[in-house]
Amino acid sequence: MIIVENSIISEDIADKCFCCDLGQCRGMCCVEGDAGAPLEKSEIPILDEIFPKIRPYMTAEGIAEAERNGLHTTDSEGVLCTPLVNNRECIFTTFEDGVALCAIEKAFFDKKINFRKPVSCHLYPLRIDDYGEFQTVNYHTWDVCKTAVCKGEKEQMPLYIYLKEPLIRKFGEKWYNELVERCEEFNDRN
């Protein structure tokens, strides 16, 4: 394991490669699964505030679900997350040419909002569990992302480099720089 501040991090972050390949996976991480995207409590008021600006990017089904049940729910383990449409895709999923995309992120790239998307989505395939005094950062493997692993290996793109921006967003630059040092030390030993 790798330790940075109060984070216990899977060594996978240093030696596994990953690079999203939307052309191949078609954004299935927004569609498949048994729950929506995990949310932080601090993201709830943000989603409430920006919903009117995200709404034009959403599907009719996503809008209907949001109006019926709100912009967040809890999964079977009590974790805050985005609701699903038809028990399948995240309510913020939109489609272009058969590719699932994030309506929040589309609004962000169109400069309508300054919130990119839930940090759990930005960090994927890493998952964070908070235990109060410490947190764990683990690599989540999923068949949907096989092409991202292949592309990452081809491009020799380790997780900690690929996810630099969201890791800094979540933990800060000082934390990230320490992570890079630990990953380099790990890779030198192995």
pLDDT tens per residue, range 80-115: 999 999 888 999 999 999 888 999 999 999 999 999
Confidence (pTM): 0.89
- Could you give the CA distance from residue 165 to residue 177 in angstroms, rounded to a whole number? 12
Contacts of 15 (CB under 8 A, 6+ apart): 158, 186, 187, 190
Decide if 140 contacts 124 (C-beta within 8 A).
yes
Residue 37: which of 118, 99, 136 has the closest Cα?
118
Tell me which H or E stretch contains 164. Answer: helix 164-171
pLDDT at res. 42: 94
Residue type, 102: C
3-state SS, residue 8? strand
- Work out the percent of the chain whose per-residue pLDDT is above 90: 69
- Residues of the chain short of pLDDT 70, as ranges, are none
pLDDT at res. 143: 84
